[in-house]
Each structure stands twice: as C-alpha cells, then as structure tokens.
Amino acid sequence: MTTIPSRDQEAAITSLQQRILSCRLCQQHGYIPIAHPIVSGRASDRVLVIGQAPGHRSVANNLPFSGPGGRILQKWLEQAGFPPRYLHEHTYLSSLTRCDPGRSPKGNGDRRPSPQEVALCRPYLEEEIRILQPKVVLLVGTMAIEAFFGKVRLEEVIGTYEERDGMRLLPLPHPSGVSRWLNDPAHQKLLQQALGLLSSWRVTFAL
C-alpha cells in the first residue's frame, strides 16, 4: 500500500534533495577531490534504507545501491516477501554520506567516510527522517548501525530491532561480497531472523 504524502512533505523532500545535490562541503573541507552527491526516494516511501556511502558505480549510475550490494539487498527484500525492484522503486535510499569517499588506501574496497564527513552530512539524514517519518528503517552495514546504536558487535544486533519515535530500526549486515561475516552459518540464521521481522512488518504496515 502506498500512503499519499502531503503536499508539504513532497515540497520539503524536493527542496531537501536539491540542497543535498548542490552540497560541496566535503570538497571544500578537502576530504574528497570532487563532491558528487546522489539522492533517490519519494515522500511516499515508508521504508528508509540507510547505508554507509555510495560507491563509484552508484555515482556513475546516479542511483544509490546500484552495484552488487544493491542486488543482494533486493534479494533479501524478496526473501522477506517484497516484489522485484522494490528497493529502487519503493524505498527511500539514504546513507551516512552522499558522495563517494573513493577507494580505501589499503586497497580493500571503498574507503569508510571519516567521522568529519559523516558529521557534515548527518543533518541531511536527520531532516529526511523528520520529513518522511518512516515506519521501518533498515540500517545497512556496521557504520550505519553504529551511527544509531553506538559501538556494537553485529551478532548482538542482527535479528533484533529497536523502536524509536514510531520507527522500527532494523540492523542488517553489509550486503557487499567484501564482508565475510555472512560466511558463518550462525550469522546466516541471524540474517534470516531479521528478514522474518521485516516480512511481518510488511504485512502489519502494508508496506
């Protein structure tokens, strides 16, 4: 079921997305060579997905979660009973930072955005939450989880959720192949537990 957002919500999201798209703060502070923020989502979306930061593929496609991680996340959504393309067509895709932080200097995947970059970008995320008032928030990967839960081990929180201000915060592991956490069958069970919760909310909230 799709809720009809108020005109105020639609106007507020459009204006916020325009502000994000024109933001160059991290470039001005010298954290990244070029700021190229990306956004994706509608005021009607009631599932908010919060990841770490877009990678180079997502920026090239101008679409968050358009790499392999997005495909796996969509597959998890389908395991929870959501239809094909739900991720990109019916969830609001956000992240701790909106620009690609570039490759890790250690050469093992994407660089984690620094606390300074996350702090510069955080007001946009807070504003999205305030405007959207989502029913469900998927915290994808350790960085996104810790931004809301503080320092925790994945095995302590995957398969559990927390309700805050009318939102259900659901931690999920990072879906990229870089993470080896899911290689452990016990961890796979925790993921299935999390997807079970998501499936029940899909029905309860008619998501």
103 binds ligand SF4 (CB under 6 A): no
Binding residue for ligand SF4, selected from 99, 157, 170, 172, defined by CB under 6 A: 99
Closer to ligand SF4 by CB, 17 or 142: give it: 17
**What are the CA-CA distances from residue 192 to residues 5, 106, 107 (Å)?**
32, 32, 31
| C-alpha distances out from residue 202 to 43, 79, 133, Å | 18, 12, 16
The reply to whether 207 sits near ligand SF4 by the rule CB under 6 A is: no
Candidate list 26, 136, 158, 167; residue touching ligand SF4; CB under 6 A? 26
Between residues 44 and 114, which has the closer beta carbon with respect to ligand SF4?
Answer: 114
Q: Is 24 in the site for ligand SF4 (CB under 6 A)?
A: yes
Nearer to ligand SF4, 86 or 124 (CB): 124
DSSP labels for 41-69? --TT--EEEEES---HHHHHHTSTT-SHH
Q: Of 23, 63, 72, 147, which one interacts with ligand SF4 (CB under 6 A)?
A: 23
Could you say whether residue 110 binds ligand SF4 (CB under 6 A)? no
Contact 62, 96 (CB under 8 A): no
CB of 53 to ligand SF4, least distance (A): 7
Report which secondary-structure segment, H or E, holds 22: none
Asked if 9 contacts 43 with a C-beta cutoff of 8 angstroms, the reply is yes
Shortest gap between Cβ of 39 and ligand SF4 (angstroms)? Answer: 9
Q: Is 117 in the site for ligand SF4 (CB under 6 A)?
A: yes
> Binding-site residue total for ligand SF4 (CB under 6 A)?
14
Contact 12, 2 (CB under 8 A): no
Distance of CA 92 to CAs 25, 31, 51, Å?
A: 23, 26, 11
Candidate list 93, 120, 154, 157; residue touching ligand SF4; CB under 6 A: 120
Q: How far is the CB of 21 from ligand SF4 (least distance, A)?
A: 8
Neighbours of 5 (CB within 10 A): 19
Dihedrals φ, ψ of 153, to 5°? Answer: -90, 145
Cβ-based nearer residue to ligand SF4, 25 or 182: 25
Local structure of 16: helix, strand or coil: helix
Segment lying near ligand SF4 (by CB under 6 A), choices 92-100, 129-137, 160-168, 191-199: 92-100
The residue type of 82 is F
Binding site for ligand SF4 (CB under 6 A): 20, 23-27, 35, 37, 97-99, 117, 120-121
